[in-house]
Amino acid sequence: MTSLVEKASKYVQQLLQEELPSNCLYHNFTHTRRVFKSTKEIIENSAISEEDTEILLLTALFHDTGFVKCNDGHEAESVNIATAFLKEHGFADDKLEKVAQCIMATQMEASPETKLDEIIRDADASHFAKDYFQEASEFLRLELKLKGLAEYSKTKWLAGNIDLLRNTHTYYTDYAKKHWNPKKEENILTMEAQQKELKGEKKVKEKKLKAKLKSVDPEKAIQSVFRVTLRNHIKLSDIADTKANILLSVNAIIISIALSNLIPKLDNPSNSYLIVPTIIFLLFTVTSIVLSVLATRPNVTSGKFTKEDVNNKKVNLLFFGNFHQMSLDEFNWAMTEMLNDKDYIYSSLTKDLYFLGLVLQKKYKILRLTYSIFMTGIIVSVVAFAIAFMTI
């Protein structure tokens, strides 16, 4: 190893450790060191001159330094970094061009044109034929995800790697073909076995899911829909009644205060300016009370049904308002008829839900109007009292 290669190694290590983004889990100094080692392995088993050896080792060190600047086009940035360093150390221009060409040859879409290109391409892909291939591959998958470049599930990543190694990638040098292809094939077989295992697990999960779905009683699902929906409607009804009661209480307190404080003062002719604001104030307050009562006032139904109604499934026996005036025997007979007919039960639940919805719509409509009137009354009353005091 020449002194320049040693200096370059220290420079690249420091550069990557200090400036490389933390999301470069694969393209880091560990990868550079592995490519450097694989490059030496091919060189030691090939007829390579000392000059070309130096060029290849420098290429191995600098080929991914561009990741400190960017992802896309990092090879060109690697050339710039290598050029700046090597020129500073008096590296010859003709050899510098070879280093630049070898770095650019590491692009995935590039085809090697020289023997040096072939060597560096094989060294850069040497992990395909190493024991640490699975580890390196997973780091690359996570790096792509962290950088927001691509996100693969383990299944898709496995399939993509198998296709890449089986159908796309090839080694160029005689040494790599002879010594690395067997391990590469072993790694492919390992991934194919993992792929079959994942597919088997997926099928088992699908079978379990299908079995679970089959085991679910559709009747229970329907009952759950009715139960949850009816419970929600009842809660909404309680909320509406509570809001109406609040308004009723507030307005009752307001009227009691007005009657005890304002009304006695109106007997005095000097307080005549308070008559109009007081009337306005009481008018809005009474209106709010009346609407609050209407929002909570229950409707009275006949509470009777006939046998024809039950036979024709016209009466909803789930609502007390339809049977409260019937005898126990009549009601017991009607319930027995309904419970023996599933469609009648669902029809009754549907009617119950529908009419409860209509009641809720009426309540909330009146309640919204009440709040609007109450709010308007407060504002208008305050303005009226203010004008009355200003005109004294």
pLDDT at 250: 85
pLDDT at residue 216, as a whole number: 54
| Domain 3-211 is found in CATH 1.10.1300.10 | yes
Predicted confidence at residue 36, as pLDDT, reads: 95
Residue 261: count other Cβ atoms within 10 Å of its Cβ: 9
Would you say 28 and 16 are in contact if contact means Cβ atoms under 8 Å apart? yes
Query: Can you read off the two tokens belonging to residue 269?
Result: 């002719």
- Region of 107 on the Ramachandran plot (φ > 0 left; ψ -120 to 50 alpha; else beta): beta
Angle at 161 between CA 158 and CA 162, to 5 degrees: 85
pLDDT of residue 305: 79
Q: What is the pLDDT of residue 121?
A: 95
Amino acid identity for residue 204 in this structure: V
Q: Interhelix angle for 93-104 vs 50-62, to 10°?
A: 50
DSSP-derived secondary structure letter, 165: I
Q: What pLDDT does 364 receive?
A: 86
pLDDT for 217? 60
Q: What is the pLDDT along the chain (392 residues), one digit of tens a residue?
A: 678 999 999 999 999 999 999 999 999 999 999 999 999 999 999 999 999 999 999 999 999 999 999 999 999 999 999 999 999 999 999 999 999 999 999 998 889 999 999 999 999 999 999 999 999 999 999 999 999 999 998 889 999 999 999 999 999 999 999 999 999 999 999 999 988 888 877 777 777 776 665 555 667 777 777 788 878 878 888 888 888 888 888 888 888 877 777 776 766 676 677 778 878 888 888 888 888 888 887 776 777 878 888 888 888 777 777 788 888 888 888 888 888 888 888 888 888 888 888 888 888 888 899 889 889 988 988 888 888 778 76
Q: Where are the domains of the chain?
A: 3-211, 218-390
Using CA atoms of 374, 379, 384, 390 in order, give the dihedral in degrees to the nearest 10: 160
Residue 162 C-beta-side C-alpha neighbours within 13 Å: 15
Residues in the chain: 392
Q: pLDDT at position 215, please?
A: 57
d(CA 104, CA 98): 10
- Amino acid 88: pLDDT: 93
pTM: 0.54
Residue 374 in contact with residue 291, Cβ under 8 Å? no
What does the DSSP assignment read for 126-191? Answer: GGGGSTTHHHHHHHHHHHHHHTTS----HHHHHHHHHHIIIII----SHHHHHHTHHHHHHHHHHH
Whether 255 and 286 have beta carbons less than 8 Å apart is answered as yes
- Whole-number pLDDT of residue 294: 85
For position 165, what pLDDT does the model report? 93
